[in-house]
Structure 1
Amino acid sequence: MDREIPKEVLRKERRRKMIKLVAVVGVCVLVVILVISFLRDSVNRKNIQLSTVDTGTIEVSVSASGKVAPAFEEIINTPIESRIVEVYKRGGDSVDVGTPLLRLDLQTIETDYRKMLDELQVRQYRIEQQRIKNSSTLSDMEMQLKVNDMQIDKMEVEVRNERYLDSLGAGTTDKVRETELSYNVARLEQEQARKKFENDKKVTDAELRVQELELEIFRKSLAETRRILNDAQIRSPRKAILTYINNQVGVRVPQGTQVAIVSDLSHFKIDGEIADSYGDRIATGNKVVVKIGNEQLTGAVSSVTPLSKNGIIQFTVQLDDDNHPRLRSGLKTDVYVMNAVKDDVMRIANGPYYTGKGTYELFVLDGSTLKKRKVQLGESNFEYIEVVSGLQPGQQVVVSDMSEYRNRNKIKVKE
């Protein structure tokens, strides 16, 4: 027959099991703490990047952000207010010189152009009419002058005859004076007529030149209208890629509205931006290194925007290899602009730890231990950083991210 176990015995048994469980958990926690502590105090050599301090040259640079852009890009604007009637191409299409891109409603400007052509003919006919009229008037005046010259010659003969008769006693003094007076009056009138002829000739020539000048001005206006009409027939200005086109058929487009963009996607440039505080360190001609992933492309600053906008200065980089296969329009890049050279300086490899000139706490390898040390760093480029003090040539410094060990002064290195 079974006998009931006393409650006191059951209570002691449960207490013993609880103590064992707590002891096991405590041991596990202690082991975990010890492992974590050991791991925190040590690092695998394969997981860190070391740089040996050496002496050499640093081409000092400032870093900037950049974006790959087509070396050539032309925006096509509508020269008139009109309406899109038809679209012939799509974005991404290759186009040649003169390829039609879209058609605008040109009825109004074509009508105006035809009216101007008609007015041009009217103006030409008017000038020709004026030229003939002037020629006729001047010819009549010139003929009249010749007739007057003949009459004056006749009067001169009469004066000589009267004088001769008067010397023979067959004439009178009054008759001589009368013929002389008539002769002199005729000569003065002829002189006046000649001056009037010359003046009228100058006036008619001037009037004709004014009309011809007005005609030339009108021709230029007609040529400008013709140019606008040609531009309104939206065509590609060169062989390129159509990167944008307004394909909204029927929409009205005001004058000057962008309707298409053609780009040369076989050659590229870099559009860079940098804080205006570094504006004095960027100038046209500065050597530039552009990093795209692991690729490094060289070039030079070709232009710098003279004004700062929102604390940013923009500049353009002309690449030596502007058709590199890694270049893609819109791709973000790191840009390093060289602006000075320092020779015979201590240097270490650049890394994520560097944020500018100043004092840093870096880990230096000493045997199998990494020891934290204060180091003064100076100028830099994309490869090296200048060491001002705190290190000696030949020492090895950790240049990888060690932020998780920032509270440690010593770290063991495991092979």
Structure 2
Amino acid sequence: MDQPISAQTLQQRQRMKFALAGAALLALIVLAWGINRMLSPSIDLSDIRVAEVHTGSIANTINASGVVIPVHEEQVPSPIQTRVARVHVKAGQEVAAGELLLELDDHTVQLAIDNLEEQIAQQEIRVQVLTLEMRQKQKQLTSEIELLRLDLESAKVRLGRYQRLEKIGASSAADLNAAELVVKRTEIELRQHRESVADARQATQTNIQGAELQKSILLKELEQQRHLQAQTKVRAPFAGMLTWVLADEGASVGSGQLVAKVSELHNYRVEATASDFYARYLEPGQAVRVGYSGQTLAGRVQTILPEIQNGTVTLLVTLDKPNYSLLRNKLRVDVNIVTEQKANTLVADTGPAFNGRGRQDIFVLDGDMARKKQLDVGLGDGRAVEILAGAKAGDRLIVSDVSRFKHLDAFRVSR
């Protein structure tokens, strides 16, 4: 016959039911958790970059691209239209002041020099001929003057004789008048000859002065041609580096065409270009940070060129260390122009997650979850940004590009 179930057995069965129900519920929870982890978005911590908010200083900067250029660079042009005769130095070599770089064909200049020298010799001969002719003319006129003086003395003697004879009535008035006319005519001829001597001397001296003036003009032209001939021997204007040279021997060059370029060594500055959008924020004297190969060089804006080309503004930057060992001509560098600075403010390292200034959504790391927060971003210097509101010191911001999660309020970060 059936026996009644004991209370102890009933209690054991009850506990067994509760245990099975608890185990089933726990399994259901674990299963749900596993499914959630499998289906919910997540990212590995090693795949993102995290920046911690801290108190510090920051400067607002304008990013620009820059090229290192020499402070002193001189371009050497061809003085004439000619051709390259011989090249002595290769581009990239250091040169001393006055060192011969290349030679240009000076054949046409030499012809011009020879022609001028011949013309100068002609003018010198002309001066000699004019001087000789003047001396001969003076001798001739002097002889004629001496003869006229004798004739005058003879005419005066004859006139005196007729005057004495006329007093005693031994001579006629016609003879006396004739003698007086001879004296006057001779005096006139003597005066004219003396004037001819002065005129001939003056005319000859004028011709000589003209010849000397022409000779002086030719000598100046000759000096100019010799200067051009000296310039055909192209030399370094100062000690430095030959950054460029027309190395094709026999190549034709025009007058004024560039044939060589010499740059000063170990003395550089930066030519930077920025968007014309920032032109109104740029001023001479602003601090500049020049970055290359992990190094940062300090400098100042020296000049802002007034012309805007292709939507960019160009400025020249002087460096505090223009002779820095890593600087090279035409080296491309990053330029950050400081327009504003702040101290004792909340800052964080920048990254692709930030998009300029203003309010924007940034994910903040909270344990193994990244939660979206709205931050107010202020200044930025290319390396860090200012956090005006939305975060506190110690918060860890995801600064990597996580735009694929922008539609979520949170996502999981696995370690």
Query: For the superposition of Structure 1 and Structure 2, which TM-score range results when normalised by the shorter chain?
Result: 0.5 to 0.7
TM-score of the superposed pair, with normalisation by structure 2: 0.67
Give the whole-Å Cα distance in 2 for the aligned partners of 1:109 and 1:125. Answer: 24
The worse-fitting range, judged by mean Cα deviation, of 186-195 and 311-320 is 186-195
Taking structure 1 as reference, are residues 96 and 180 closer, same or farther at Cα in structure 2, changes over 3 Å only? same
For the pair 1:87 / 2:87, whether they are aligned, the reply is yes
For the pair 1:372 / 2:373, whether they are aligned, the reply is yes
Taking structure 1 as reference, are residues 250 and 402 closer, same or farther at Cα in structure 2, changes over 3 Å only? closer
Give the whole-Å Cα distance in 1 for the aligned partners of 2:383 and 2:337. Answer: 13
1:110 CA displacement: 2.1
Taking structure 1 as reference, are residues 57 and 240 closer, same or farther at Cα in structure 2, changes over 3 Å only? closer
1:228-260, CA deviations, whole angstroms, 9 ceiling, x for partnerless residues? 212212333333223333333333333333333
Give the whole-Å Cα distance in 2 for the aligned partners of 1:401 and 1:97. Answer: 54
Which amino acid is 1:239 matched to?
A
For 1:406, the equivalent position in structure 2 comes to 406
1:250-305, CA deviations, whole angstroms, 9 ceiling, x for partnerless residues? 33333333333333343222121123343344444443221113212122333333
For 2:125, the equivalent position in structure 1 comes to 125
What secondary structure sits across from 2:328 in the alignment? coil
Give the whole-Å Cα distance in 1 for the aligned partners of 2:275 and 2:132. Answer: 73
Q: Which has the larger radius of gyration?
A: 2
1:410 CA displacement: 4.4
For 1:64, the equivalent position in structure 2 comes to 64
1:333 CA displacement: 1.1
Structure 1 residues not aligned, in runs of 5+? 1-26
Aligned partner of 2:39 among 33, 36, 42: 33
Taking structure 1 as reference, are residues 393 and 237 closer, same or farther at Cα in structure 2, changes over 3 Å only? same
Contact kept, 8 Å, 1:364 with 1:396, in 2: the verdict is: no
What secondary structure sits across from 1:80 in the alignment? coil
Taking structure 1 as reference, are residues 365 and 175 closer, same or farther at Cα in structure 2, changes over 3 Å only? farther
For 2:15, the equivalent position in structure 1 comes to none
For 2:315, the equivalent position in structure 1 comes to 315
For 2:333, the equivalent position in structure 1 comes to 333
Taking structure 1 as reference, are residues 133 and 298 closer, same or farther at Cα in structure 2, changes over 3 Å only? farther
For the pair 1:251 / 2:251, whether they are aligned, the reply is yes
Q: Where do residues 2-401 of structure 1 align in structure 2 (5 Å cutoff)?
A: 32-34=38-40, 36-37=41-42, 39=43, 47-53=49-55, 58=59, 60-130=60-130, 207-338=207-338, 340-341=339-340, 346=345, 348-349=347-348, 351-353=350-352, 356=356, 358-363=357-362, 371-375=372-376, 377=378, 380-382=380-382, 385=385, 390=389, 394=393, 396=395, 398=397, 400-401=399-400
Taking structure 1 as reference, are residues 44 and 104 closer, same or farther at Cα in structure 2, changes over 3 Å only? closer
Percent identity of equivalent pairs? 20
Give the whole-Å Cα distance in 2 for the aligned partners of 1:411 and 1:181. Answer: 142
Which amino acid is 1:254 matched to?
G
Give the whole-Å Cα distance in 1 for the aligned partners of 2:223 and 2:51. Answer: 70
Give the whole-Å Cα distance in 1 for the aligned partners of 2:412 and 2:35. Answer: 23
1:331 CA displacement: 1.8
Which amino acid is 2:267 matched to?
H
Give the whole-Å Cα distance in 2 for the aligned partners of 1:198 and 1:279. Answer: 79
What secondary structure sits across from 2:334 in the alignment? strand
Taking structure 1 as reference, are residues 400 and 223 closer, same or farther at Cα in structure 2, changes over 3 Å only? farther
Which amino acid is 2:39 matched to?
I
Aligned residues: 380
